[in-house]
Structure 1
Amino acid sequence: MHLLLAFISIIAVWIRKDYRAWKTYYSTMQYVALGNLTYNFLCASHWLWQLSPDIKWFNHSLLEMSYTFIVFPFTALMFLSHYPEEKSKWKVLLHYLCWIGIYVGVEYILMIRGSIIYKYGWSLGWSALFDCIMFPFLRLHYKKPLFTLIASVPMTIFWVWFFDIPVSVPIPKR
């Protein structure tokens, strides 16, 4: 299923011709990849969710790399490439709801298949809430990248604090 999502992302970007706009949205594609890398770094020993490989040779590292460098950036590209005119608030709202629905729907399928495992209080509900924050942040990053990077720091600190993720700073020995 995970490998299929990576292929679907590639094919969708190709069919929709969103790849033509990659330079316009490249920094936001990097932002979403950085977010996933940050999660993997901070939660390496205390993961809130973990993706289970469907295929033996497609191990956890390859799986995370496919999401970090293909699925998440390509969906950010598709989300931003077809963002509606801001004159129509209903179209904007429907655009957000569509993408949040896609992410929640796919994660629901992964959950019932056992391809995603939750721990330490995380659940599909928390993922849905996170998606409701993530998509506006993608748009905000496109419009105001420095502001979004700065705003992402307290958001990250909140999630680390709320889910009691152990973060220790190594003190060098003399």
Structure 2
Amino acid sequence: MHIILTIVSIIAVWIRGDHREWKKYYTTMQYIAIGNLTYNFLCASHWLWRLSPDIKWFNHTILEMAYTFIVFPFTALMFLSHYPENEGRWRVIRHYLFWIGLYVAIEFVLMVQGSILYKYGWSLGWSALFDCLMFPFLRLHFKKPLFTLIVSVPIAIFWLWLFEIPVYLPIEQR
């Protein structure tokens, strides 16, 4: 399923023509990639969710790299390049609901297949809530990148606190 999602992301960006606008959205594509890298770094020993490879040679590291550098940035590209800028509030709400719903539906399938594992209280519900924050933050980052980076820090700290993620080692363990 993970390989299929990666390939579908590449094909969708190409067929929809979104690849032509990558420079316009590049910094937000980096923002989502850096966010995923940060999660993987901070939660390496205390992961809340972990993707389980479908194929042995497609190990966890390669799998995370595929999501970090292809699936998530291409999602940001597709989400932003078709954002209904001046088409009314209802179109904007539908756009958000589509992408949040798509992410939740895909994660539900991954969960049922055993391709995503949850730990330390994380669940599909928490992922859905996270998606409800992530997509507006992608748009906000595109419009106001510095502000978004500043606001992202306390939100990240809140998530770390909420799920009791240890971000330091006691002196005796160093």
TM-score by length of 1: 0.96
Residue of structure 1 in register with 2:67 after alignment: 67
Match runs of 1:22-101 below 5 Å = 22-101=22-101
Count of aligned pairs? 171
Deviation readout 1:79-134 (Å, 9 max, x if unpaired): 00000024500000000000000000000000000000000000000000000000
Cα RMSD (Å): 1.0
Residue of structure 2 in register with 1:123 after alignment: 123
Q: What is the CA–CA distance in structure 1 between the aligned matches of 2:169 and 2:115, rounded to whole Å?
A: 32
- Percent identity reads 75
Letter in 1 for 2:49: W
Q: What is the CA–CA distance in structure 2 between the aligned matches of 1:91 and 1:165, rounded to whole Å?
A: 37
Moved more, 84-93 or 112-121: 84-93
Q: What is the CA–CA distance in structure 1 between the aligned matches of 2:86 and 2:38, rounded to whole Å?
A: 31
How many Å apart are 1:170 and its aligned residue? 7.3
Q: What is the CA–CA distance in structure 1 between the aligned matches of 2:82 and 2:73, rounded to whole Å?
A: 14
Residue of structure 2 in register with 1:104 after alignment: 104
- Moved runs in structure 1, 4+ residues, more than 6 A? none
Q: What SS is found at the alignment partner of 2:58? A: coil
Q: Does 1:21 align with 2:21?
A: yes
> Which consecutive residues of structure 1, in runs of 5 or more, have no partner in the other structure?
none
Deviation readout 1:134-165 (Å, 9 max, x if unpaired): 00000000000000000000010000000000
